[in-house]
Amino acid sequence: MLRTVVHFIIFLPFIILLSSCAFNHTPGMVRDLTIPEMNEAFGEKPVDLVTGTECISPVKVMILNKETSSEHYSYKKTDSILVSEVYIVPKIFIERVNTYFADRLKESGIEVDNKSNKEIHVSFVKMSQHGFERKNVRVGLKITIPEINYNKTFTGSEDSFLLSKASAYAIHRAIRQCMEDKKFQNYIKCLNDNPKD
């Protein structure tokens, strides 16, 4: 009996090591990504995308998920013997980001319509996480508007003691940067040489 216990204790670390695995954090990254959560955290007013518009009819846009990767994107290696790395699935991640993006556009007076000819393409660029107790998350999103050859990467970075909140805050920062970008706003408002329909 004693020999069995000793053997178990000796081989336990090897059993644990062999059972170590990667952890899919895609749901956790966007769990707190809601307008009420972000408004409470940042206290920002909605971006005004209506005042000064030259569009003939109410603005409608279509947001498309142009991320093609369904592979694991590892953004954090760990020292844990239980979890070797933490990853997201970019295509699923961008789908949830687009839901939040659409909610923010609606809040700013823009209708999101899957039949609109104003297309906004969103894809994943990068993500990283640093820190142990207080976590810093950086998220890069690429926004493309084919109609005006607009192609720009926005990177949000935020800290929190909770990884899920730091992630949501970083995504919010990137989306906010996009909505405050002058060329993006001009397109939405049909200003300059941008289409007026």
Give the tens place of pLDDT for each residue, 106-157: 999 999 999 999 999 999 999 887 766 677 889 999 999 999 999 999 999 9
pLDDT, average across residues 154-183: 92
Q: How far apart are CA 9 and CA 32, in angstroms?
A: 41
**Higher per-residue confidence, 92 vs 162:** 92
- Structure tokens, 186: 């001009």
pLDDT, average across residues 31-46: 91
Q: What Rg, from alpha-carbon coordinates, does the chain have? A: 21
Strand (E) or helix (H) holding 142: strand 135-145
Q: What is the pLDDT of residues 69-95, one digit of tens each?
A: 888 887 765 444 444 577 889 999 999
User: Is a pLDDT exceeding 50 seen at residue 99?
Assistant: yes
pTM here?
Answer: 0.82
Asked if 81 and 13 touch (Cβ cutoff 8 Å), the reply is yes
Asked if 163 and 129 touch (Cβ cutoff 8 Å), the reply is yes
Q: Which of 24, 25, 31, 23 is nearest to 168 (CA)?
A: 31
pLDDT, average across residues 37-47: 92
Asked if 122 and 106 touch (Cβ cutoff 8 Å), the reply is no
Specify the CATH class of 25-76+87-188 in words. alpha beta
- Listing DSSP states for 167-187 in one string gives HHHHHHHHHHHHHH-HHHHHH
pLDDT value of position 191 = 92
